[in-house]
Structures are given as structure tokens and as C-alpha cells.
Amino acid sequence: MVYKLTKDATPEQMRAAGLGDHYAGHDNALFYQNASGVPWSAAYIQAKGDPIADLYEDITAEEKARATYQWLIDLTDDVDLQDSLKFLREREIVHS
């Protein structure tokens, strides 16, 4: 989704969107990071070894993802993007 939104962007457009540093290091490639620019790490995956605790952790992660998709849906007026995000949001609901 991110690639589709940035694939035709010029370096100037990337810079104007606040993605200049990203473009300089990664071109239009995906580079997973949070909103603060902290790269994704497998350390974000939690497991205790207790099936019930791990199930609750998974349910919590699914709900956080669902809430994030809804937040992104509310931030955009691009119908195609909203449709894609709604599909992903519904998958999170089914997982829970």
C-alpha cells in the first residue's frame, strides 16, 4: 500500500511530504518503522510461554492493529485507500 502511494512520487514530493530522509536511504522501498522513525524489530513480538497469557497478548495486538486501521481510514479521503484499509481492518476483527 505504501509502495503504491509513493511509487510515482518525485524526490521533491517525497521531501515535501517529510519523507526526504527515507527516500535518501531507501528510495521508494518499504522500510518498516513506527511514526517516530524507530525501525521495526522482532523484539516487539511478545510471548510468555503460557497459552492463556499468549492468547491475550495476541488478542491485544489484533485490537491495536484494528484501531490503527480505523485511525488511518479516518485520516484519508482517498476511497481506494479506505477500501484497502477497511479490508485489512476486517481481517483483524476476524482474527480476534
Say yes or no: 38 and 10 in one domain: yes
Q: pLDDT tens-digit profile of 44-92?
A: 677 778 888 888 888 888 888 899 999 999 999 999 999 999 999 998 8
Helix (H, G, I), strand (E, B) or coil at 39: strand
Say yes or no: 21 and 52 in one domain: no
DSSP string over 55-91? HHHHHHHHHHHHHHHHHHHHH---HHHHHHHHHHHHH
Say yes or no: 54 and 31 in one domain: no
Give the structural domain span for 13.
1-44
- Please give the model's pTM, rounded to 2 decimal places: 0.58
Provide the pLDDT for residue 8. Answer: 86
Domain count, the chain: 2
Say yes or no: 53 and 95 in one domain: yes
